[in-house]
Amino acid sequence: MKKFFVIFFINFLLIFLIGCTKNFDGIYIDNGKKLIKINVEIADDNEERMKGLMFREKLDDNAGMFFIFENEGYLTFWMKNTLIPLDIIFIDKSFDIVDIKNAVPCLEDSCTLYTSTKPSKYVLEVNGNFTTKNNIKIGDKIITNRK
């Protein structure tokens, strides 16, 4: 019986911890003038990161996908089967924006690769031209707000 409770407790703890990683109230970008809130979906495993925003026909104005990687490094994205233009915001382990790419849809086999110019641990994808409209630039800070 004691073994059952130990196994139950460990499983409960793992489920709780995994759930917490996806429990964001949103991502905020501090552009030096204001905080811009973005409601995000979290992509923190290989399957979610590979699918990304493929096949989406639209994305709400202040919505996006926040990609979390295990290690910091030069990250490469592409727009295969992505139907809408996106801004790809590369973020380092200190939550500083280190690069921004304006990416266009690709429905062919040969797609442009978008690689960060500096090591990144996180990526935020938002609607195309979102960074221009909101005066977001390299050096701005990302703030995560967990519930």
Domain ranges within the chain, ordered by starting residue:
25-146
CATH 1.10.1200.10 assigned to 25-146: no
Tell me the pLDDT tens digit for each residue of 115-144.
999 999 999 999 999 999 999 999 999 998
DSSP H or E segment with residue 80: none
pLDDT surpasses 90 at 56: yes
DSSP H or E segment with residue 26: strand 24-30
Q: Which residue has the tokens 């991502």?
A: 27
Closest CA to 120 of 61, 77, 56, 64: 77
Residue-wise burial string across 75-103, b where 16 or more C-beta atoms lie within 10 A, e elsewhere: bebbbbebebebbbbbbbeebebbbbbeb
The whole-number pLDDT of residue 16 equals 38
State whether the Cα torsion 107-90-134-25 is positive or negative: positive
Predicted confidence band of residue 82 (pLDDT cuts 50, 70, 90)? very high
Tell me the pLDDT tens digit for each residue of 84-106.
999 999 999 999 999 999 999 99
Predicted confidence band of residue 146 (pLDDT cuts 50, 70, 90)? low
The whole-number pLDDT of residue 109 equals 86
Give the separation between CA 37 and CA 130, rounded to whole angstroms.
12
Q: For the chain, how far is it from start to end, CA to CA, in angstroms?
A: 35
Q: For the chain, give the mean pLDDT.
A: 87
